[in-house]
Structure formats: C-alpha cells, structure tokens
Chains A and B, each alone.
Chain A
C-alpha cells in the first residue's frame, strides 16, 4: 500500500498557488490544489475546468464528478467498479460520474501518488478499494466543510445525497458544483483517519450499475491501440523466429524491394524481421513474400512427444521444487483398504486476445512515445525507456483500453521492444505502428504452462480418504518471468490452490496424510499467466481426482467433499450454494448428468455444478452451469456475473478445444481454424450465485475459471462412467454409459 501524505503547508501557500494554477488551466474554477508538490501544473490542467479535491476526484461546476482510475480496463469492469467505490464515499450523483484514466507519466511525475498501476492477478478492485474509497471520502468531507463554512454552521449538521448538501435546520441546500471551488481551498483531511461507510449502507457500490464504458463500444468509435492514427505514420508487420530461441540468419530484401508501399526491411534484435510499408496490409503482404532463413537452434528438436517425455521424467524423479507435507501419505495409502491412482495432463494454451499484439512508437527530439494495449502501464513506460535508451521522464505511454488481456499483457513488454527497434530504423519523428498477424500472435505468446499430474489416494474400510499423494510435473511461470519467486529451488506458485495458509488459494480439504510435490520441468516454450493461472490445472487435477476417489468410495460427490471440509467453512458454504442452486441430488431430464467442483484462488472461493449430456454418437452438450462465488465484498453484481460468464467461455473453450501443439520446435495452431474458440451456440446457460460474506476483499476476474473444467469433466464422468484425464476433449471419444 502506498503512503498517502497530505501536506499541511498547503494552507499557507494556497492563495498564491491558486492564482498561478488557475492561469495555467485557463481560468475558471481550475484550482489545482496541490498537496503533493510534485504534481504541479500538469495536474492543475488535468482538472480541466473542475476543482481537484484530493487526488482521486475532480468536481465540476455542474456537479459532475471525474473519478481518476489508475488500473487498466480490458473488459473486466474494474473501471466501473472502482468508480462506484469512490462515488459511494463521495456521495455524488452516480449519473454525473465520468472517469479519467491516469497515465504512468503523470503518476511518475507525482512520485507515484496514485500507486501501482499494474492490472493482473484479479487485484484491480481489491488492491485499489481502500485508497479509492478514502479518496472519495476526502472529497466529500472537503465539500461538506466548504458548505458549512459558507453557512457558518457545524459540518455535522449537514447531510448529503446525490451531490446535494442540505442543512435541514435552516432549510438550505446547495450542490457539490457550487461549493467545489471553495472546497478546493481547504486542507484535505488525512485519509487514514476517515471512517468509511459500512458496506451494508452502500447505495452505489454493491449495486448492479451499468458499465460506464459501453457507449463507444457500440458504434465503432472506441479507439484501441490498434486503431491509432498519427500524421505520417508507417506500418510494420513482423515475424519472429517460429522456433523459440531461434535466430534470424538472413533475408533476401531484394525480392520484395519493388513491392507496393514497401519502405524498409528491418532486422529486429537477433531473432525477428519486420517490413515497414505505407499500410499494414502491404507490409504483411511483403513480409509473407520475403525469403527468410532462420537458424532454428536446439529448440527445433522439441515436439509434443519430447516435451511429454520431459514432463514424465518429473514424475519419476525424487527431487522436488515445492511441496506440502502433512503426516505420512505414502504409508497411509500403502496401508489403506482401497487405493485409487490416476494421471492427468493439460496442454499449452494461448491467450488469443481479440486485439492482436500491436504497438505504435514515435521517436523524436529526445522523446519516445508509445501506444499499446498493456495491463501494466508503468512496465510499459519502463520498457519504452529501456528500449529507446531515453530516461523515463522523456518517455510517454498513451493509455488505451485493451481488446482483451487475460494475463498476456502484464510484465512482459515484448511488443514495445520490437516496435522501438523498428522505429529506430526509420527517420526520426516517423510514427510506426507494428501489428502482429493472428498467426504471429498465436506463435509468440507466453503460453499457459503444460503439466502432468500423478495422484494416489487411500480409503479406509468406511470409504474415508486417509491419505492423498500428488506429484505434479510441469513448467514454471516464475522460471520464465520471475526467478526471484523461486526460493532455494522451491516454486510454490505452481502449487497454487493447494496451500495450507488461508486467505489466497487455500486447499479446502483436510486430509490426515497429505503429500503434494512439484517437479519443475521447463521447456523452450515461453510461459506466463493465463486467466486463473495455475488454479486452472491444479483445480482440474484435484477436483477430478477427488471425483474418482468419491466414486471408488461409493459416496455421493457432494457428501464426500463435505466430509473433508468441516475446517473450511467458507469453501463449504460456496460449495453448498452451488449445490443448492444447481439442484444437486434432484432429478434431471433423461440423458443429462451433473458434476460438481470447488476450489479457491485469488482470495475468493468458487464452486460450480455442470449439467451435460453425451449423445449416442458421443456428442457432448453442456446445458447449464451454476457458479457460486464468495469474493467477500461484491462491488457490482452484474459485472461479477459478467466475469463469471466470461470465465465459463474461456475455461470451457479450453476444456473442449484448447491445445497449442508443438512440432519441430514451433507452435502448430496459428489461427482459429485449428485453435478453436468456444462460440455462442456452445455456451451453456450460466447462473451466477454471489454469496458474499462481507469480511474480506477477494478477486473476481480469475477465481471462478478453476471450477469450470472440473465441474464439466465430472459431469462427463457421470454421463459416461469414465473419467476424462487429459485435455482438450475434442479428439477423445466419449461414450454414453
């Protein structure tokens, strides 16, 4: 949490400052009160005709309120949710709320007063809610104080509703807009001392408000980074070595020199080549025609088969890269009345954001600018600085909402490095927009890691699980992107969802003897976070195997789980909510079967039921899913439901179709013809049950995806009598029992 310090000296210098900043902002009410010397005139101008009250809120004369947003918006609804939280404490008229996206440059210039701008790990709301609500409250208190001062009454005698301040005793009222200018002259209260509203008293937060960012998505006017137009702009298409780790050996530029619109062939780093042309289509056409020779290197020997063998070696090995041990699972299983064993696996997956990778860069006069879709604006700024060789202060990131993120566009700033390299090869001041083709986007992702998982369980004579053993072998995200996250060879991130510690990703079962081990087996394929990250595979492994164990014990899937959850009441409550809404135990239409699963990630508890049928021809249909979620506080139930529905689309699509195959060291599935994506016709009826306990702040964007695949697979098990142990389902023959 960043430190918010409100300077007391502002009071003494106020009058002088107002004159200067009002002039800078073009007069009017732009007071630009500046408790943080570093913000300066830029912020005063940014107030744009309004009064800046604290750092998060600008109030205009017509009482409309601009709420500043630090996090990226990529569809997940964080922008609206954060605005609701700020507006709740501000007490303004929700209909008069607009938002302003902060840029990393402003944040840097203000000594990062707006905090961390990264948007990942389902943290957009939960890591911003406290400062946002306090920011709204600061502004409200300043506005009320200004009215009290004007009327010479005690501030405690005032009430506020929808931006109208009332003094009941004297029957006077005024608006936020009318007192904003006076309010901006006051010293803001210390946000740390403010008592925030109880969630039960919320009237804006906690309600299914419409999104604030829909209008320009309906008529084509929204400008994504890929849509940016700049005077004199050129366009680049790029191809990196299709084999990871390969190098560019040579290109035959002469072959394309006379093609229409071609300006230049640019070698990018040592592993890629770009063609710059007057339009992107011409650049791409020329690139496709360009003879390229790659030095493919060692990676070219890798294939699905060699990778699978490599992962299997992790099952047989004895060393571990992370474990959780309780009791003696091996002995318990060896001495058990009944033993169950199974091996599961999941493949690499691409993110396939609808907006392909792109970045526009302009380098001129000691200045570097970039336009790109990014989940981490500050990492983009740093990347631009590194790539351009210019100090941060001479770099500028232009903010755009993203056409999808899903974890692809966080810390890794590969687009920006490529685009800067291309722009450097062109005359100074020439903006160049680099766009990846869909094929390039599929070929050069940071993929969801591949893994294989062997599990055993022992049951006593009564069918109770007395021991559980797992050995998980697969690729590490930290090894790729965050080596510091691996401590003394242990990478606990790969055991996400299996933790003993409560709060984030705790396993919801108590087993007397437990042994969970991770064996790191990295490949040459780059990996990274993919919506839900390791809870996807880990939730599937655990919950599908538990289903096998429950059936071996001859017990009901729900009851078997419940019997191990008494020490995990929050997990259990969510499971119960899904079971109740999912009509667990109640009759289904002929041929329809049910499955259930529960798991935890990103500080929230999830459970799901799925109803499926398998036709005599083996065709699978997912009819209905119920997803239950306890995310602590529910800021916007409608958008939470949207995220849950989204997690079903992303998770079910991966379950049915998702697989990035590797052949000769490169990705095989380069477009949606073979990397199939779930479509509307296959989308089941999804019902979201939000069961918030209002005692913590959990994530929303990622938590529920981890129960989608196991609930569906467990329903298929019910329908066919056979477990599905590897994904995707598409090439497997299902036979109705």
Chain B
C-alpha cells in the first residue's frame, strides 16, 4: 500500500499507483482544500508543495512520490492561517469565490521562498494559476505585501472614489 507523507503525517493510501496525487489527497487522505480544476496541469487549483517545490498534483501519480517525500497541502501551510502570504491575502481581501485560492496561495508561497522580493515580472512568470473570478490584481498586490514590498503596488482607486463621492 502506497504511503504518503502529508503535512508531517504518514498516510496509507489504498489506490492504484497511477492514481493522481490530487485524488489520493482528496479522497483517501480527505484533505479537500486542494482542488480539482482541470486535471491537466493547466489551472493550478491542485497545487501542493513536495519537498518545498511547487507541484500540480493532478498530473503527478502517487507512484511518482516516495514515502520520504514531504508533501504540504494548504491545510499544512501554517497554524491558524498565520503564514505571511495568508495574512496578506486576508489584508488585501483577495478571494472572491475562493475555489482557486488554495492553489494561488501555494504558488505565492513557493515564489516568495525562492524570490523574497519579486518584481511584477517575476510575479507574472510565477503566478500562472487560473482564477475565473478575476482576482489577479489583488493576488499581485498581496504577493507584494507578503514580500514586504510596501503596502501593495497601488492605492485602491475605488476607495478613493468612494471618499470623493
């Protein structure tokens, strides 16, 4: 029986070896914060960290993962949503429907780990997750905030408009 090390716990998963890691995480381990969006590594809703590397779990087989590989899902990212990226997401009010946000956050954490002070171009290249609600501008702002690049990239034009009216 395959074993997975997820969020610091060893889990037995009764699946065929070619089962996508995503579905083992969701259906066997029962962690549903990691989402199914496309199944073909296009959207990034299924993003997790394996040994610190960002991976799209829908397109990895369980057999591709060794029992010693450390998998971290959104649930294991921090206690009490205390990771700076999660805090920035809250401060900027990034999510709309929220469905893609686990993946967005995992991607942002990975980016900042490799590149603590990303430029807009760096963010363009790293943040390739699909969001249908269109939270991209706030994702960018929150990444900058988490990086400590000032208070985001812009003042909120809408807030200014509301004060003026």
> What is A's interface to B at a CB cutoff of 8 Å?
74-77, 206-208, 210-211, 213-224, 226-227, 229, 235, 260, 279-282, 285, 352-356, 401-406, 435, 437-438, 581, 634, 637-638, 640-642, 644-650, 671-673, 677-681, 683, 685-692
How many whole Å from A125's CB to the nearest CB in chain B?
15
Are the CB atoms of B102 and A220 closer together than 8 Å?
yes
Q: What chain B residues lie within 8 Å of A671 (beta carbons)?
A: 38-40, 42
Q: What chain B residues lie within 8 Å of A210 (beta carbons)?
A: 90, 93
Are the CB atoms of B32 and A223 closer together than 8 Å?
yes
Are the CB atoms of A683 and B77 closer together than 8 Å?
no
Which 3 residue pairs are nearest across A and B when measured between Cβ atoms? A220-B33, A649-B134, A75-B97
Q: What chain A residues lie within 8 Å of B45 (beta carbons)?
A: 354
Are the CB atoms of A222 and B36 closer together than 8 Å?
no
Stretch from B16-24, B49-57, B63-71, B144-152 contacting the other chain: B16-24
Are the CB atoms of A677 and B132 closer together than 8 Å?
yes
Are the CB atoms of A680 and B37 closer together than 8 Å?
no
Q: Cα distance A282–B123 when bound, in Å? A: 37
How many whole Å from A181's CB to the nearest CB in chain B?
34
Identity of the chain A residue whose Cβ is nearest the Cβ of B123 in the assembled complex? A680
Q: What chain B residues lie within 8 Å of A282 (beta carbons)?
A: 16
Known: A215-B81, A354-B37; 15 extra A-B contacts, CB below 8 A, are: A75-B133, A77-B96, A219-B33, A220-B33, A229-B30, A229-B32, A285-B16, A354-B131, A404-B132, A645-B138, A649-B131, A650-B132, A673-B40, A677-B130, A679-B136
How many whole Å from B41's CB to the nearest CB in chain A?
9
Q: What chain B residues lie within 8 Å of A229 (beta carbons)?
A: 30, 32
Q: What chain B residues lie within 8 Å of A353 (beta carbons)?
A: 132
Q: Cα distance A75–B101 when bound, in Å? A: 12
Chain B 68-106 per-residue mask, 1 if CB under 8 angstroms from chain A, else 0: 000001110110010000100110011111111110010
Q: Cα distance A680–B161 when bound, in Å? A: 25
Are the CB atoms of A681 and B158 closer together than 8 Å?
no
Chain B 123-165 per-residue mask, 1 if CB under 8 angstroms from chain A, else 0: 1110111111111111110000000000000101111011001
Identity of the chain B residue whose Cβ is nearest the Cβ of A639 in the assembled complex? B93
Q: What chain A residues lie within 8 Å of B15 (beta carbons)?
A: 279, 281
* CB < 8 Å neighbour of B101 from A217, A226, A642: A217
> What is B's interface to A at a CB cutoff of 8 Å?
15-16, 19-20, 23, 26-28, 30-40, 42-43, 45, 73-75, 77-78, 81, 86, 89-90, 93-102, 105, 123-125, 127-140, 154, 156-159, 161-162, 165
Chain A CB within 10 A, most for which of B23, B105, B161, B165: B161
Q: What chain A residues lie within 8 Å of B73 (beta carbons)?
A: 220
Q: Cα distance A222–B100 when bound, in Å? A: 12
Q: What chain B residues lie within 8 Å of A437 (beta carbons)?
A: 39
Given A219-B75, A681-B125, A691 contacting B42 (CB threshold 8 A): no
Q: Cα distance A518–B159 when bound, in Å? A: 41
How many whole Å from A282's CB to the nearest CB in chain B?
8
* CB < 8 Å neighbour of A438 from B37, B97, B99: B37
How many whole Å from B160's CB to the nearest CB in chain A?
9
Chain B CB within 10 A, most for which of A280, A645, A678: A645
How many whole Å from B150's CB to the nearest CB in chain A?
16
Chain A CB within 10 A, most for which of B32, B75, B96, B124: B96
Are the CB atoms of B75 and A221 closer together than 8 Å?
yes
Q: Cα distance A642–B134 when bound, in Å? A: 8
Q: What chain B residues lie within 8 Å of A650 (beta carbons)?
A: 132, 134
Given A219-B33, A220-B33, A206 contacting B162 (CB threshold 8 A): yes
Q: What chain A residues lie within 8 Å of B158 (beta carbons)?
A: 208, 637-638, 640-641, 644, 688-690
Are the CB atoms of A646 and B96 closer together than 8 Å?
yes
Q: What chain B residues lie within 8 Å of A581 (beta carbons)?
A: 157
18 cross-chain CB contacts under 8 A:
A75-B98, A214-B90, A217-B101, A220-B75, A222-B98, A235-B27, A281-B20, A438-B40, A641-B158, A649-B132, A671-B40, A679-B127, A679-B128, A679-B130, A680-B124, A680-B139, A681-B127, A688-B158
Q: Cα distance A343–B151 when bound, in Å? A: 47
Q: What chain A residues lie within 8 Å of B36 (beta carbons)?
A: 226, 356, 435, 438
Q: What chain A residues lie within 8 Å of B86 (beta carbons)?
A: 218-219
Are the CB atoms of B165 and A692 closer together than 8 Å?
yes
Prevailing SS type, chain B contact patch: loop
* CB < 8 Å neighbour of B134 from A222, A235, A648, A692: A648
Are the CB atoms of B23 and A218 closer together than 8 Å?
no
Q: Cα distance A649–B154 when bound, in Å? A: 18
Q: What chain A residues lie within 8 Å of B161 (beta carbons)?
A: 637, 688-691
Q: Cα distance A140–B147 when bound, in Å? A: 44
Q: Cα distance A451–B3 when bound, in Å? A: 53
* CB < 8 Å neighbour of B159 from A280, A352, A404, A637: A637
Identity of the chain A residue whose Cβ is nearest the Cβ of B140 in the assembled complex? A680
Q: What chain A residues lie within 8 Å of B37 (beta carbons)?
A: 354, 356, 438
Given A220-B32, A638-B156, A689-B161, A214 contacting B74 (CB threshold 8 A): no
Q: Cα distance A279–B28 when bound, in Å? A: 9
Chain A CB within 10 A, most for which of B30, B36, B74, B158: B158
* CB < 8 Å neighbour of B162 from A207, A642, A673, A687: A207
Are the CB atoms of A641 and B157 closer together than 8 Å?
yes
Q: Cα distance A710–B105 when bound, in Å? A: 33
Q: What chain B residues lie within 8 Å of A401 (beta carbons)?
A: 97-98
Identity of the chain B residue whose Cβ is nearest the Cβ of A227 in the assembled complex? B32
Q: Cα distance A649–B100 when bound, in Å? A: 14
Q: Cα distance A692–B163 when bound, in Å? A: 11
Q: Cα distance A648–B134 when bound, in Å? A: 7
How many whole Å from B65's CB to the nearest CB in chain A?
15
* CB < 8 Å neighbour of B137 from A402, A637, A645: A645
How many whole Å from A260's CB to the nearest CB in chain B?
6
How many whole Å from A236's CB to the nearest CB in chain B?
13
Are the CB atoms of A634 and B162 closer together than 8 Å?
yes
Given A281-B27, A437-B39, A638-B159, A645 contacting B136 (CB threshold 8 A): yes
Are the CB atoms of B136 and A690 closer together than 8 Å?
no
How many whole Å from A47's CB to the nearest CB in chain B?
28
Q: Cα distance A127–B135 when bound, in Å? A: 26
How many whole Å from B66's CB to the nearest CB in chain A?
21
Identity of the chain B residue whose Cβ is nearest the Cβ of A686 in the assembled complex? B137
Are the CB atoms of A642 and B96 closer together than 8 Å?
yes
Are the CB atoms of B27 and A649 closer together than 8 Å?
no
Q: What chain B residues lie within 8 Å of A678 (beta carbons)?
A: 134
* CB < 8 Å neighbour of A642 from B78, B123, B138: B138
Identity of the chain A residue whose Cβ is nearest the Cβ of B100 in the assembled complex? A354
Are the CB atoms of A354 and B130 closer together than 8 Å?
yes
Q: What chain B residues lie within 8 Å of A642 (beta carbons)?
A: 93, 96, 135, 138
Identity of the chain B residue whose Cβ is nearest the Cβ of A628 in the assembled complex? B161
Q: What chain A residues lie within 8 Å of B35 (beta carbons)?
A: 226, 354-355, 403
Q: Cα distance A197–B119 when bound, in Å? A: 46
Q: What chain A residues lie within 8 Å of B135 (beta carbons)?
A: 642, 645-646
Are the CB atoms of B95 and A404 closer together than 8 Å?
no
Are the CB atoms of A438 and B39 closer together than 8 Å?
yes
